[in-house]
Structure formats: structure tokens, C-alpha cells
Structure 1
Amino acid sequence: MSDGTGVGSGVRARPRLTVLSGPSGVGKSSVLAELRRMGPEIHFSVSVTTRKPRPGEVDGVHYHFVDAAEFRDMVARGEFLEHAEFAGNCYGTPKAPVERALASGTPSLLEIELQGARQVRVAMPEAQLVMLAPPSWEDLVGRLTGRGTEDPAVVARRLEIAREELAAEPEFDEVVVNDDVKSAAASLLNLVVGPVPDA
């Protein structure tokens, strides 16, 4: 049964890699959680990180948790599609699972920071870059400051980074505004599995 997004329509475009990026606090985790419920045929890339697991995070599900030495070895072996340092920790996207998914005909989605998205653009020019944006700058400020659990200096730094990330919007192929999680997930699903025009 088709839901209007191309899923179940019987029409299969060639699979592609979609890169989702957006500032801290924009709701990427919530949108991706909704997308998982809507689009089970999508391969969700699991990043490698050197940061410690947070409560409830499962190794191999949320991230692959490694130490700094192992991460450096993986970089040296060329195992990453992209890798970057963010907030004092290293993050990387394993190349092999993405390549396997695309080769099998399954669209692949990865969520990474701006500098990583730029690396993917160079490594895989055919990848689709999507920015998840807040309804407004004031809305994002409210989300970040409303947590009330972090040092003001940390929040200020996140806002500074967020401003830089939003300024990079012209580098992205598509922008999805997260003013409603379900609507944003539906828009993202359509971009991930929608038809791809012939080159």
C-alpha cells in the first residue's frame, strides 16, 4: 500500500545515501526515531565514537563505542567514509556497512555534524545532504537553554556552533524544518526513498 511517499508504490529508484545534519537541539533524535517507525526499509548508519555511552545507550545500536587508539587505527586503515572531532570526542561513519546497504538496493541514512557532511560531499558527490532546521532561531535558543542542566558556557558554545551550522544551509540539497516531528519525519522519508532523477 502506498502512503504517497513512494514507499510501497512498486517504483524503486536507485538507492542513495542521504546525510542528515542540523544544529544541537533541533530534534534530530526525535525525528529519526519517528522515521525508524515509518521507514523500516532504510539502512540507518551507526557511527563510531570515542565518547562514553550515555545512560540507556547500547553499543552497536546507538553507536559503536571505541577508545581513542582503536579509532586512530580505523582512520589509518581507511575504514571511515568521514570522521571528525566534535565537543572533544571523535566520531566516524564506517564505510563498509553503507556500501553494502547501497549495493543491496537499500537506501542508507546517516546523521552527522556539518564537517562530516562536507567530507561525505567530497567522498560521495552523489550523496544527498539534508539539513534539519528549527522553525526559528528563537525556537532553537529556547530548546537549548530550556534544558537547564548544562553550564551556561557550554550552552553559549553550542549556540555559536549552531549559528555556524545554520549559515551553511546553502551547501545542502534540501532543508526540512522541524516544527512537528511527524511531519518532519514524513518529509525526510520522502527525500530518502523518493525517486532520483537520472543523471
Structure 2
Amino acid sequence: MISRASLAGWYRNRFVWVAVILLTVSVGVTVLLNSSGSKAEPQDLQTQIMNQMRTTLEQSDPGQHNHGGHTAQQAAAGKDANPAVICGVRVYGYEPATVTALADVRTVYGFHLCGVAQPKYPWDVAVKLAGPVILDMSKNPPGIQVVEATATVKYIDRLKEMFPPKYADLAQKEALTKAEMDDLRRRYDAAADL
């Protein structure tokens, strides 16, 4: 037969263990919520470069988006004095390739697709600027070079002149990912008030 004292001790210990377990779980949940909800994880270098590239292109003077002799500003003239330029980007690579901090990146090679967001102009009729691009990160603001053919140099030859071979090969095959294109369209629609 179990004595009343030992039975009471068993119940008390059981409640103590339940309390300890509940306390442990609640502390664990609190730590998890605080670590994931209030503090953003640092971005990897590739993401930092992509964000810097997008910001540079979107905030640059529209004249720097010169394609085929037309600037974003000229293309949108008469529709909106200060059109928003919304860009999707893809980073092919950067130099020096061994750096680990954004501040140490000197040159970025990639692709850009930008739309000039005029109010109520859907994406399909928007002025677009697209193609391989190089950002000179040693300048402030970063310098922008787009690949264009000239009267004497074909586009592909110009691409190979400007880009290192490994990035020139990528530029001939790859543009935006589906996720980046979806994000570009969402941000363009918001800027064009659609």
C-alpha cells in the first residue's frame, strides 16, 4: 500500500516537472520569436550586391540608362516629369571575386531590366531598358556602363570586350530569374498605380 505522504510527494514532483517543462518551452518559444522576429539576419554578399545594383540603377539619373541613344527621361517625356525607374537585376559576378564585404567590391557584372513606371501605363506598354550592365563600385555614385553595339563593333563583340569571358558567357544565356521577374512586375505595378 502507498502511503499518503509518498502519494502527495509524487503529485508534487509531477507538478514540478510539468512546471519545469512548461517554463522551458515558453523560454524556448520566446527566444525563437525574438531571434526571428525582431532581428534580421545579415544578408549574404551576393544579396547585398544585388540590392546595391538595383538601388543604383533605380536611383540613377535617367540619362545613365542610355540605350540606343534614348534615355529613360526622353522616352517618358511629356508623360511624367519624374518617372520612377523600377529595375530587376541579376548579378553574374563581381571583382575581386575573393572579397567578403560589399565595401571591397570594385566591379559588378550583371543584367538589368528596368521599366519606366508612368501612372496607369501597364508593363506591356512601358518603356523598358534591358541588357548586360557593369557597375563601377569604386565611384560614388557607382558608374553604370551598358553593353551596346557601335557603328563599327557588333553587340556580341562589344559584350566580349567589356565582360570577362565567364560573365560574357552567362550574359548570352541568362537574364532574370522567375522570382526576380515576378518581384519586378509587382513593384512596377505598384509604382504605376495599377
TM category (shorter chain) comes to under 0.3
Q: Of the two structures, which has the highest relative contact order with CA contacts closer than 8 Å and spacing of 6 or more?
A: 1
Normalising to structure 1: TM-score of the pair? 0.25
Normalising to structure 2: TM-score of the pair? 0.26
